[in-house]
Amino acid sequence: MQGGTPNELLARIALANGPAIIQRNLAILRSNLELVVEFFSRHHRRFEFVKPRVGTVCFPRLTAKGDEAEGYCTALAEEHSLTLIPPSAMAPPDVTAALAERLGQRFRLGFGRESLPGLLPRWSAAVEAEEARVGVAATADARL
């Protein structure tokens, strides 16, 4: 099967500009990875994070006892319009259950998009709001 002429033209343009495209994408990735490292450093009580040595994704772990990644990703999407990839989108249920048991509650975060720098402050605010709610609840319970 042969591709259409517009596809061939776009492929030729991309190949002719390969080095420039690669340099641009690497710059985005490097910058975004620095921002992700800073984010997880600020929120180290909420997440366990290991900086990836290669690739464009990472798999942070939730650290709160009893927390589960599927619910966290759903709540973040519903309450803050931010999307992380939950375990159910990565593998069949039996595989995700086995991995969660072995490796903890993890989700997928890609850091190759240009939009990431604008989204991390929103996620940070969501984490801080969650911490404030939990802190208020803990303080209120302690006063009873």
DSSP run (H or E) holding 46: none
Three-state SS at 58: strand
Q: Tens-digit pLDDT profile for the chain (144 aa)?
A: 466 788 999 999 989 999 999 999 999 999 999 999 999 999 999 999 999 999 999 999 999 888 899 999 999 999 999 999 999 998 898 998 898 899 999 999 999 999 999 999 999 999 999 888 876 544 443 333
Q: Token pair for residue 135?
A: 């802190």
Rounded to a whole number of angstroms, the CA Rg of the chain reads: 19
pTM comes to 0.81
The predicted pLDDT at position 139 comes to: 40
Tokens 């490097």 belong to 30
Looking at the 3D structure of the chain, how many domains does it have? 1
CA distance 126 to 142: 24
The predicted pLDDT at position 2 comes to: 62
Domain housing 48: 5-143
Burial class (CB within 10 angstroms; exposed 0-12, middle 13-18, buried 19+) of 28: middle
Domain containing 82 — which CATH number? 3.90.1150.10
Q: Token pair for residue 24?
A: 């641009």
